[in-house]
């Protein structure tokens, strides 16, 4: 599982010109699901998203999490995070979980994330053509990949 996190002052996602999810200060989470991901991958990504300390404290150091600042999450499904250019210049997406299986996995993951915290969580619409707007704060952008777990403690 991959999550591209962007620290934002604000973000919103629209479908057909209608805003379907919007947040103020917090994290925009672009979420890609690998074809072999398990609940353990989702749990690791969720723990990291909630715990990562990329918001500044009073001394200006990145020392606070989205939970510490009372921020929000905007989660957008993004199968293209598993795009591969190993064979030419047109991306292949064979590593991404197939559509209907990914839809169920994504829905279960977001539901579990909501149960694990009190943050405001907004979403895009799975498999829709979405327009995402954001004000990247910093800019700060971090990639998480459950297949490259460097720290199992968080």
DSSP classification of residue 97: P
Residue of 36, 38, 80, 141 with catalytic role: 80
DSSP classification of residue 42: H
- Known active-site residue 36: no
DSSP-H helix ranges across 3-150: 39-51, 99-116
CA distances to 8, 39, 42, 43, 134 from 36, rounded to whole Å, are 30, 10, 11, 14, 30
Residues labelled catalytic? 80
């Amino acid at each position: 599982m991959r999550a591209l996190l962007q620290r934002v002052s604000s973000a919103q996602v629209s479908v057909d010109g209608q805003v379907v999810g919007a947040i103020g200060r917090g994290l925009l989470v672009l979420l890609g699901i690998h074809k072999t991901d398990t609940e353990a991958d989702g749990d690791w990504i969720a723990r990291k998203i909630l715990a990562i300390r990329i918001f500044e404290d009073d001394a200006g150091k990145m020392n606070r999490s989205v939970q510490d600042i009372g921020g929000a999450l905007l989660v957008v499904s993004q199968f293209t995070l598993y795009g591969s250019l190993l064979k030419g210049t047109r991306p292949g997406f064979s590593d991404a979980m197939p559509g209907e299986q990914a839809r169920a996995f994504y829905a279960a993951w977001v539901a579990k994330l909501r149960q694990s915290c009190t943050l405001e969580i907004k979403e895009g619409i799975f498999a829709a053509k979405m327009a995402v707007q954001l004000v990247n704060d910093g800019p700060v952008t971090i990639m998480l990949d459950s297949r490259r777990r460097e720290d199992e403690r968080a």
